[in-house]
Amino acid sequence: MKLSQMLFVTLREEPADAEVRSHALMARAGFIQKLAAGIYVYGPMMWRVLRKIENIVREEHDRAGCLELLMPAVQPRELWQESGRWDRYVQDGILFHFADRKGSEVCLGPTHEEVITTFVKRQIQSYKQMPVTFYQIQTKFRDEIRPRFGLMRGREFIMKDAYSFDPSAEAMKASYERMREVYRAIFRRCGLRFTPVEADSGAIGGSGSEEFMVDADTGEDAIAVCRESGYAANVEKAVSQIAPPPPAPEAIAMHKEPTPGAKSCEDLQRLFPDLPLERMLKTVLYKASFTEREEIVAVMARGDREINEVKLLNFLDALNVELADEQTVRQATGAEPGFAGPIGLADHVRLLADASVEGVQGFLCGGNETDTHYLDVWFDRDLPQPPSHDFGLVQDGDLSEDGQGRLSITRGIEVGHIFQLGTKYSEAMSAQFQDEDGKNKAIWMGCYGIGVSRVAASAIEQNHDANGMIWPLPIAPYSVLLVQMKAGNEDQDRVAQELYDQIQEAGVDVLWDDRVKVSPGAKFKDADLIGIPLRIVIGRDAKDRKVEWKPRVGETEVLTVEGALEKLKVALQEQNS
């Protein structure tokens, strides 16, 4: 492709609304253009990137025996009511939905479990027809509460979703394991540095679940990784060993302490400099909502620990948990927020404790009275120890659960997520088959997602410098860029044309910056911005058939035309090996 024929427009300034590098660079380079919040046009360059990613995704799925199909974006409400997800998704505001001309409600699919389950249940009758896995690459629609970061969190985005169908839990696990390998292969081939982590399965439900995180400081997710043991998990899910509490002090009677204005552990440390943080127990109030009711839950935790709301949510099996508002706190404790404690809570409050409180004695806790705490409190003497469970948020430096090493907290971008769904959808939608024993059983499902457009964004997030993007070769819009310094110069024209023809003949996608009346400086800046990894500069030495090998990163070399072609061949081979 010749750049002069491309309607190639770059911006010198960053768009005002770009917050992360990938967004700013893609917008500057004309790869994407915003149409509305979280909704983008993918320009020709971007579309090439997306198609390259799609092709890798396709090849790896096909290789694993998955079957590609395409499901509708528009889906009827009835289907979603069958699975029981309509109300929840509408209530969360995430669903684009509207009435058709007959007044029937439909939605734009945010995901396709309902459709695939329906499709499959009409076809599968026997265990002999399984295992089978389908996938599609489709535009998904989610009316995100807060779209941001360009393609990273859009309201319309490209996703590959796959669904496996098996006759038993064991078979489902085997399909899941196969897919784990497919995912590893895909992200490796895309040239990304990534970490697979154990994950919470969230609203979609199911048991086993793993997320694929592209390592990037700007990622929205925090992950806990242990180098020594190889453990890696989303912090929502991560577990750790924490240091035991300090030995109990001398037992003296529980008593009140005036603590004016001390609402946090930090404030309290100033008032009680000799009391270790591990002997201050905080009590945090949450409002948990269930289908039919709400519950106020108080959770105790050691002063040096934080509470993991996802673990709490899962333990309670609630639809949602959120911090209680001030009004609720006052009602539950009879005090201003900041003084909640386990003793003297209102009767309707359910008291729980994080495992970090176990063994802590002679501690400080809220007094359920404004400006007051209790000191020298002992479990089993002054109050029964509340039921405890792991509600803790792992912290950087925690010991891994097996004790082999320390956890460090890093950040990542979730580009893939795989789930063992079990029979959640097949039961709700009665997708059954007849097993070998003649009995009708629910199909065991797994589902597997890759954010295709997010993969592209995260590749830039992970690979860029001050001047622009640096694409991994397998997903670059073009593999090679020919930068011709002065289009119209006979020697340069001839050499550039020769290179262009030869590279094309070799089946390599090449872009030729043949623009006239564009200064060398501007060409170099544009080349850096769009980040095509392999570059050959045709300039002043063209008369001697000399060109420059000048990859996006790395050393520049002056070579003959043949030398440059050879160099290119080697670079492309390295990539494929």
Q: Compute φ and ψ for 292, nearest 5 degrees.
A: -110, -10
Residues in the chain: 577
Q: Which of residues 82-101 bind RNA (CB under 7 A)?
A: 92, 94
By CB under 7 A, tell whether 467 contacts RNA.
yes
C-alpha–C-alpha distance, residues 336 and 369, integer Å: 7
Q: Which residue number, 262 or 321, has a Cβ lying nearer to RNA?
A: 321
Q: Does 110 bind RNA (CB under 7 A)?
A: yes
- What's the gap between Cα 35 and its chain centre? 24
The C-alpha atoms of residue 558 and residue 563 are separated, in whole angstroms, by 9
Query: Which of the ranges 14-22, 95-103, 296-304, 354-362 carries the binding residues for RNA, by CB under 7 A?
Result: 14-22
**DSSP bridge partners of 164:** 133, 446
Nearer to RNA (CB atom), residue 260 or residue 521: 521
CB of 255 to RNA, least distance (A): 36
Using the minimum distance from each CB to RNA, give the nearer residue, 154 or 362. Answer: 154
Name every residue whose Cβ is closer than 8 Å to that of residue 250 and which is 6 or more positions away in sequence. 362
CA 313 to CA 569: how far, in whole Å?
A: 55
Helix axes 44-63, 169-189, angle to 10 degrees: 140
521 binds RNA (CB under 7 A): yes
Q: Measured from the CB of residue 569, what is the shortest distance to RNA in angstroms?
A: 22
According to CB under 7 A, which one of 5, 19, 228, 403 is a site residue for RNA? 19
Least distance from RNA to the Cβ atom of residue 438, Å: 35
Does residue 322 interact with RNA by CB under 7 A?
A: yes
Q: Which is nearer to RNA, 317 or 380 (CB)?
A: 317
Write the DSSP assignment of 21-81 as a string of letters.
Answer: HHHHHHHHTTSEEEEETTEEEE-HHHHHHHHHHHHHHHHHHHHTT-EE----SEEEHHHHH
Least Å distance, CB 577 to RNA, is 28
Which of 17, 181, 557, 562 touches RNA (CB under 7 A)? Answer: 17
Applying CB under 7 A, does 309 fall inside the site for RNA?
A: yes
Stretch touching RNA by CB under 7 A, among 199-207, 272-280, 367-375, 504-512? 199-207
Comparison of 224 and 275: residue with beta carbon closer to RNA? 224
DSSP state of 312: H
The per-residue DSSP string of 504-541 comes to HHTT--EEEE--TT--HHHHHHHHHHHT-SEEEEE-GG
Tell me how far apart the terminal alpha carbons of the chain are, to the nearest angstrom. Answer: 26
Please tell me the count of residues contacting RNA according to CB under 7 A: 61
Q: List Cα–Cα distances, 53 to 341, 443, 450, 478, in angstroms.
A: 53, 31, 10, 13
548 binds RNA (CB under 7 A): yes
Q: Which stretch binds RNA (CB under 7 A): 12-20, 351-359, 389-397, 399-407?
A: 12-20
Q: How far apart are CA 474 and CA 21, in angstroms?
A: 21
Amino acid at 489: N
Residue 556 in contact with RNA, rule: CB under 7 A: yes
Answer for which of 41, 67, 74, 145 binds RNA (CB under 7 A) is 145
Q: Toward RNA, which CB reaches closer, 147 or 362?
A: 147
528 binding RNA? (CB under 7 A): yes
The only residue of 330, 359, 524, 545 in contact with RNA, by rule CB under 7 A: 524
Interacting residue with RNA among 1, 21, 28, 431 (CB under 7 A): 28
Contact 406, 240 (CB under 8 A): no
Q: Does the footprint of RNA cover residue 281 (CB under 7 A)?
A: no
Residues that bind RNA (CB under 7 A): 10-17, 19, 28, 34, 36-38, 92, 94, 110-112, 140, 144-149, 153, 159, 161, 202-204, 220, 309, 320-322, 414, 417, 449, 467, 485-486, 517, 519-522, 524-529, 537, 539-541, 548, 550, 556
